[in-house]
Amino acid sequence: MSDRVTLKSVDVNFTLKDHIYEVLRSAILDMNIYSETTDLRLDERQMAEQLGISRTPIREALARLEQDGLVEIQPRKGVFVRRKTRDEVMEIIVVWAALESMAARLATTEASDAELRSLHTLADKHSQIDPTKDIEKYSQANIRFHQRILELSKCDALKATSDTLFMHMHAVRRRAIFEADRAAQSVKDHVEIVAALEARDAALAEQLVRDHSMRLRQHIKETWIDIEQPAASKAAQ
């Protein structure tokens, strides 16, 4: 988990615009954007130097990321990774709950037995050990578990719609999993979800996945204070 943006080197085989977008997007997703210590300002010149390219493709990628809601571009003031407000986060979770619960329902009829068994790799290990022993690894497994349910729906439109929300859910889950007993509850929920999916119980799988996300929403509603934008961004306004 990073407290500032860290970019990976550019591969030689790529379409520049798309590749730079993916590099920046990946770097932002690796940041702990809801930590008060994270530097959310993005320096175009510094990023261009790290990647060994001009600033033009950086600016084009940042414009796409602004459309995704991941960054905020303030003319003559700077570019900042954008935190969602608490109310925005809770709304995103509601939409995510609707999408993922439908994905779970579809997975009970569309996924093969082997594909459903793949969820055990992401759920079983942590059900037998304390997930807080290696919370960062569990955080990644948790995120991948939810992505996999969307994939098993076999509904491309549903998956594409959820991908945009996932960029925001990724950051929210990374923070929330460290709080209270969220990790232990998450492990328990995952085991129950996998069992319902393998039993091909569409109604139960849908309900369990929806309830799982809505518990996250309730946790945020009760424990998170309103989320502020970075101090540098606020000062520039």
Report pLDDT digits (tens) over 204-224: 999 999 999 999 999 999 998
Question: Residue 235 — pLDDT band, cuts 50, 70, 90?
Answer: very low
Report pLDDT digits (tens) over 80-102: 999 888 999 999 999 999 999 99
Fold of 16-82: Arc Repressor Mutant, subunit A (1.10.10)
* Complete DSSP assignment for 115-178: HHHHHHHHHHHHHSS-GGGGHHHHHHHHHHHHHHHHHHTT-HHHHHHHHHHHHHHHHHHHHHTT
For residue 12, give Cα distances in angstroms to 19, 21, 45, 60: 10, 15, 21, 19
Indicate the pTM of the whole model: 0.78
Amino acid at 175: R
- What is the distance between the alpha carbons of residues 38 and 41, in angstroms, rounded to a whole number? 9
What is the mean predicted confidence (pLDDT) over 25-54?
Answer: 88
What is the mean predicted confidence (pLDDT) over 176-184?
Answer: 82
Most distant pair of Cα atoms in the chain: their distance: 57
Spans of all domains in the chain = 16-82, 86-223
**Which pLDDT does position 7 carry in this prediction?**
67
CATH of domain 86-223: 1.20.120.530
- What is the distance between the alpha carbons of residues 26 and 5, in angstroms, rounded to a whole number? 10
Neighbours of 94 (CB within 10 A): 12
Question: Residue 2 — pLDDT band, cuts 50, 70, 90?
Answer: low
